[in-house]
Structure 1
Amino acid sequence: MKEKINILLLLPTIDFSSPSNTAFYIAKNLNPSKFNVFLGSIRKAKQEAKKRAEDYHIKVVEFGMKSIFDIFVVWRIYKFLKKEKIDILHNFGFRPEIFGGLAGRLAKCQGVLATILHNPAIDIPLDYGKILGAIINFLRKIASFYFEDVLVVLSNDAKEGVKKLGFKDSNIKIVYSVIDTNFLSEKIEIFSRNEILEKLGIPANKFVVGTIGVLKERKGIFYLIDAGKKVVEKYPDIVFLIIGKGPLEEKIRERIKSLNLEKHVFLQNCYERIAEIYRSIDLFVLPSLTEGVPAVILEAMAFEVPIVATEVGGIPEMIENGKSGILVPSKDSLALAEAIGKVYKNLDLAKKLAKEAKDKFEKYFTAEKMTKEYEKIYEELILREKTKEKKP
């Protein structure tokens, strides 16, 4: 009987972030007759996310990294790789790429790959600053050259970004990010739209424009608030719901107050049942300055909510302007306001955009489709290694 391929999906931490969700969907959907999978966390895993994995009988391992200077984590990962005879090490994020990649090479795994969820040429400097961002990307380049056999990105835009940093084109593959709508919808109490809005403090008779995301500069929330000021002056029945937390939360609250938008813009820094949000909003807006393949766009597509988004990153590969959503330039609050008004005034257009987006989601962005593409990459890496062994 053919032996299973042993895989470690290694994350900075197991939580509910996009990298963790992607790894979780892979682990959950891999063919159990072919693959034996572990979900690894370099740092301590978040308990709820760890429980989610264990509820699906996914084996979880934590490597207890205390700080970026804890180089002994390489030894701990190495010992695990050897003990469990891991064939494929799949890294998500720069810590796993560097520390896990080194451990994978020392342990002589048959294949080491990394998935980069954003365009590092743009996103890393925005999140960490130019100097630290340049250092991180330099280390990633070293990791890619010496440790990784394959680099997976989520869009053509991201592929061009990693090529600019010096990654080899021949080692780059594109696999679109996805969401698992079964997971999003399961174990959720069903409330009416009015009940959900009441919990959020929003009048039920309003047209609700929603957005979800971490409150960082690259998410463009200030442009959405400025657009909101223009929108409510013309359409007072529109309100905005922002779900998210992050370093800019206080500044965002200050901007809302300074524009006298307290009755029109609602900021909720935490909401557990995200599916309820999509069921209660009339339009989803993503005003980002840069993106990969954002999960929130996929979620809006899956829940058949019309979408207005900025034309950045992988978004134009997901949304066809005028057909499955409306795309606008980034950093343009006027264009954003006009697009919101266009959807508000034409509900038939809103339904058409939402239906087209839902159809596209079901065709291209399912967890099963993504997992099959990764299964193919894993098997190709094993075959490549066996071919090397046979050569004299």
Structure 2
Amino acid sequence: MSKNSQAYFVRNKIAYLSSYPPRECGIATFTKNLVVASNQLGIFRKPQVIAMNEKEAIYNYDRLVRCQIRRDVQKDYSEAADYINSSQVDLVNLQHEFGLFGGEWGEYINCFLDKLQKPVVSTLHTISPSFEPKAQSVLKQIAKHSSKIVTMTNTATRILMTYDVPRSKIEIIQHGCPNVSFVDSNKVKPSLFGLKGKLVLSTFGLLSRSKGIQYVIKALPEVVDKYPKIVYLVIGETHPEVRKFEGERYRKRLIKLVDKLDLQDHVKFHNRFLLERELIKYLQATDIYITPSLEPNQISSGTLVYAMGAGKAIIATPYLHAQEVLAENRGLLCKFRDHRSITHAIIQLLEDYELRKNMERKVYSYSRDFTWARVAKRYAELFRRMINS
């Protein structure tokens, strides 16, 4: 980029409408990483964030958050649009997942988009081939108001086109991951309590029933018989929205299963929301990462992408995102809700050292294309094009 063009673009200002830390939410983390990486490019002015709050939530946000929307208060959406219209913001990036917004299938977001007079680029975190009519209607309205729609996979793009969104309106930008070093797990394990000399399996993320953790636990007895140094780390607290309705019921069920199978020395729960640097360290200490999601239509998984970015051998159920990014022998797919399939995959990777190491190298090399710096650059180029047009 020339100095003259950079001087021109630095006048532009982006606002991000999303959940945002300290709210504990995958999309909040995604947005924070995108904002930080975009700032480091030095192309735009200091951004603003319009933060989505769930019912009765109060957060101590950083200074980038200039406006807050209460999810279930419809007038907040219109008022936020008025605020953006009167500001120096040149473009809004909407980070969309239906559950973030109020109304049926999050329809209140269209109250914001109806009034907004600035261009919008919408990033879709949830796209399903089997949306019910109301969800399709909300999605089509978002697409109508958006200058561009960002999807994270080719599969998501194909699904979106079945809802009459033209291919020319869709941009594919993969989910970002931290740019971390490719290291031998055995070099990291001694720095983490209890992991020295262990074979480490892990799963991380906000806990909910859809994660399928119980199937990994059920898979372990046969693995432990062959490999008694196995430790399975379940990293992350219960999802805040799940905790509101059922407390820690799912985690307690998992703990009871561990006790029943006599796996207390082989399954460890880390019940907290880890800082990114802590999470990276645990990933680097991992020998096999397992993502046993029970959602076949899951089109975006930040936990999967982070494991790829750390260069891990990965076992996943064949949800849509995993099928695409783990193709060409970048990972192993197991069956949904089938602990025997997981057992077989774990043992296969532990018995075949070269297979595991080749998989690690392949997935790490593949992930270099979507480190946060590269993802932010693609977003910046897209924002620039939309502002200029």
The verdict on a shared fold, with TM-score over 0.5 as the criterion, is yes
Counterparts of 1:277 and 1:136, CA distance in 2: 41
In the alignment, the residues of structure 2 paired with residue 259 and residue 5 of structure 1 have an alpha-carbon distance, to the nearest angstrom, of 58
| Structure 1 residues not aligned, in runs of 5+ | 123-132, 186-190, 385-392
Separation in structure 1 between the aligned mates of residue 94 and residue 74 of structure 2, nearest angstrom: 17
Q: Which residue of structure 1 aligns with residue 246 of structure 2? A: none
2:125 to 111, 117, 122: 117
- 1:268-287 matched pairs, under 5 angstroms: 268-270=270-272, 271-272=274-275, 273-287=278-292
Question: How far, CA to CA, are the matches of 1:255 and 1:22 in structure 2?
Answer: 32
Q: Cα distance 1:288–1:107, how it changes in 2: closer, same or farther (>3 A)? A: closer
TM value normalised by structure 1? 0.78
Q: Alpha carbons of 1:331 and 1:164: their partners in 2 closer, same or farther (altered >3 Å)?
A: farther
Q: Deviations over 1:209-237 (max 9, x none)?
A: 11112222332212211212332234333
Q: Identify if the C-alpha distance between structure 1 residues 151 and 64 changes in structure 2 by more than 3 Å, giving closer, same or farther.
A: closer
274-283 or 291-300: which moved more? 291-300
1:179 correspondence with 2:177:
yes
> 1:46 and 1:231 mapped to 2: Cα distance?
43
Q: Please point out which of 286, 298, 304 is paired with 1:297.
A: 304
Q: What one-letter code is carried by the residue in structure 2 that aligns with 1:197?
A: F
State the distance in 2 between where 1:63 and 1:300 align: 32
1:184-215 deviation line (CA, Å, top 9, x unaligned): 99xxxxx95234133xxx5x332111111222
Instruction: Give the C-alpha shift of residue 98 in structure 1.
Output: 4.6
Q: Normalising by the residue count of structure 2, what TM-score does the alignment of the two structures yield?
A: 0.79
Q: Is residue 47 of structure 2 the alignment partner of residue 37 of structure 1? A: yes
Q: Distance in 2 between matches of 1:104 and 1:170?
A: 21
The offset of 1:144, in angstroms, is 1.8
Label 1:113 to 1:136 Cα distance change in 2 as closer, same or farther (>3 A).
farther
Q: What's 2:332 paired with?
A: 326
Mapped to 2, the partners of 1:167 and 1:36 lie a distance apart of 32
Aligned pairs, number: 351
Kept in 2: contact 1:45–1:62 (CA 8 A): no
Q: Residues 299 and 205 from structure 1, CA distance in 2 versus in 1: closer, same or farther, beyond 3 angstroms?
A: same
* Contact 2:69 2:80 (C-alpha < 8 Å) held by counterparts: no
Q: Give the CA deviation at 1:340.
A: 0.6
What's the counterpart of residue 28 of structure 1?
36
Query: Structure 2 residue aligned with 1:76, among 76, 79, 83?
Result: 79
Deviations, residues 89-142 of structure 1 (Å, cap 9, x unaligned): 111123467545433442311x112111233457xxxxxxxxxx8487245325
Q: CA deviation at 1:6?
A: 2.2
The AA in structure 2 aligned to 1:23 is: T
Q: Say if 1:100 and 1:321 are closer, same or farther in 2 by CA, change over 3 A.
A: same
Which one-letter code corresponds to 1:181 in the other structure?
Answer: N
Matching residue of 2:222 = 230
Paired letter, 2:313: P
Match for 2:50: what amino acid?
G
% of aligned pairs identical? Answer: 17
Structure 1 pair 280–264 and aligned structure 2 pair: CA distance change class (3 A): same
Is the contact between residue 17 and residue 49 of structure 2 (CA under 8 Å) also seen in structure 1?
yes
The CA distance in 2 between the partners of 1:160 and 1:217, in whole Å, is 28
